[in-house]
A and B are shown apart, each in its own frame.
Chain A
């Protein structure tokens, strides 16, 4: 190969690889572009105020109303239940794995948590609808077959590994000197963990909570299967609700013609979902970066 050919080949390959990398930017651009395009078209027909603050969501009725709050409310309700499970359980298991467990226990527990994270969400949906809900109904007779509680609990189990592994990383990053200092003052492992290590790792731990919240908000199949399809603004976890993601699935399963207002609603809802998760991801990232700066 002559020098010129060689240089040309090298140059071409580098450009091609660069194009692959730029492709990932195009994906983001595509997502934002598509959501923006359809949302703008949607907002030409529905004023933004009545979309964001309206409390009735009946886009397919003849007197259609486009108040997204019931979907947002349903999403937040289910996510809050999930967080109520995942945050304490995830944090406890993180403390245990990082501060107490011996390597042998870790070798058993970590793969189990990984398996929990790897189960397809449709399977969790099945579990919520056909196992957890009937089980809960034996204690709570007023629980409807579709409700926020059961998918919320199951979603909590699903995001537990995320909270646990990210929090554990944060706890691990806390220098041992801090622990030793606490032990030297006569603290038990619990006191060292709760009063010294956890506070020191707080921004890293909060980052994991926020990321878990973002994951819960974007989770689709569990709620589409087990929470119902009735948009209603309620804090009652025992009745059917509909989340933003479940709504998108509901419309996609039917046949709503492209270009119709019904079709555009899923993009408007998708836009809102994207913005919410994006803000949460940014916040989580910011906290994690701050945490790393402290202990880098």
Chain B
């Protein structure tokens, strides 16, 4: 059962305002998160930088996915979920009662662990976000933006001749890139990726990683991964989570070569996890 989303007043950011090329995009202060009684995150405080890739690593159940889902308030649809603390995106509190979650999710796109294309055509999957947000009704413009998104997600060449086929006919890797295209179509500023390659074979994984590398010039990307090599390959900064706490974060190279915390070192050197 789903708790009603409560879109209230404004999520204020002038439409079309370009995000600053560098600097803090997301500022998190003292964030606690509860599933009913169980506390899943405690006292998370961190800044996420614009236009780079930040990776969240840690053993499963450490809260990295939960944290990711607080950034676009996806946890709102879980009954009994509760958030304390503050998350600012471009300086605006996304849990402020006046924040419109629908606007928020339009600006903060998400790709899920298991690809979840809608049981519709490839075209309709990408056009969905444009339609529900009323971005365009013009057929020509719609087609243009679908094509651009599919190109940006590096899947256009594979699907351009069969846009009206069901998205469920695609392979796992193609489905995941379609889901990325779908998220890009509404031109978010931030892209959240929850273990996007965990269900894919190495070749499909490599393509997703290349794609992430290309996308970071335009988007602020946050990726959750349980694969440390992947974090090392794709990310600029890395944050290590353990038992619902953020243990350490910093430039990826530093986290992997000279972490300050013993716990981080044990994890990245494979002593547990």
Contacts and interface: CB of A to CB of B under 8 A. Distances in A.
Contact of B4 (A1, A3, A14): A14
Given A7-B7, A14-B4, A1 B103 contact: no
B10 interface: yes
Interface in B56-106: 100, 102-103
Contacts of A14: 4
Which of the listed residues A1, A6, A14 has the most CB atoms from chain B within 10 Å of its own CB?
A6
Nearest to A7: B7
B140 interface: no
Nearest to B4: A14
B134 A1 contact: yes
Contacts of B102: 6
Contacts of B103: 3
Interface in A1-59: 1, 3, 6-7, 10, 14
Nearest to A4: B9
Given A3-B100, A3-B103, A10 B134 contact: no
Interface residues of B, number: 8
Contacts of B8: 7
A209 B177 CA distance: 55
Nearest to B134: A1
Contacts of B4: 14
A242 B53 CA distance: 81
B134 A3 contact: no
A3 to B, nearest CB: 6
A46 B264 CA distance: 85
Contacts of A6: 7, 102
A50 to B, nearest CB: 51
A49 B134 CA distance: 69
A14 B10 CA distance: 21
Contacts of B134: 1
Interface string B1-30: 000100110100000000000000000000
A7 B7 CA distance: 7
Nearest to B102: A6
A18 to B, nearest CB: 11
Contacts of A3: 7, 10, 100, 103
A14 B134 CA distance: 21
Contacts of A7: 7-8
Nearest to B10: A3
A17 to B, nearest CB: 11
A10 B2 CA distance: 14
A282 B63 CA distance: 44
A7 B8 CA distance: 8
Contacts of B10: 3
11 contacts: A1-B134, A3-B7, A3-B10, A3-B100, A3-B103, A6-B7, A6-B102, A7-B7, A7-B8, A10-B7, A14-B4
Given A3-B7, A10-B7, A14-B4, 8 more contacts: A1-B134, A3-B10, A3-B100, A3-B103, A6-B7, A6-B102, A7-B7, A7-B8
10 nearest A-B residue pairs (beta carbon): A1-B134, A7-B7, A3-B100, A14-B4, A10-B7, A6-B102, A3-B103, A3-B10, A6-B7, A3-B7
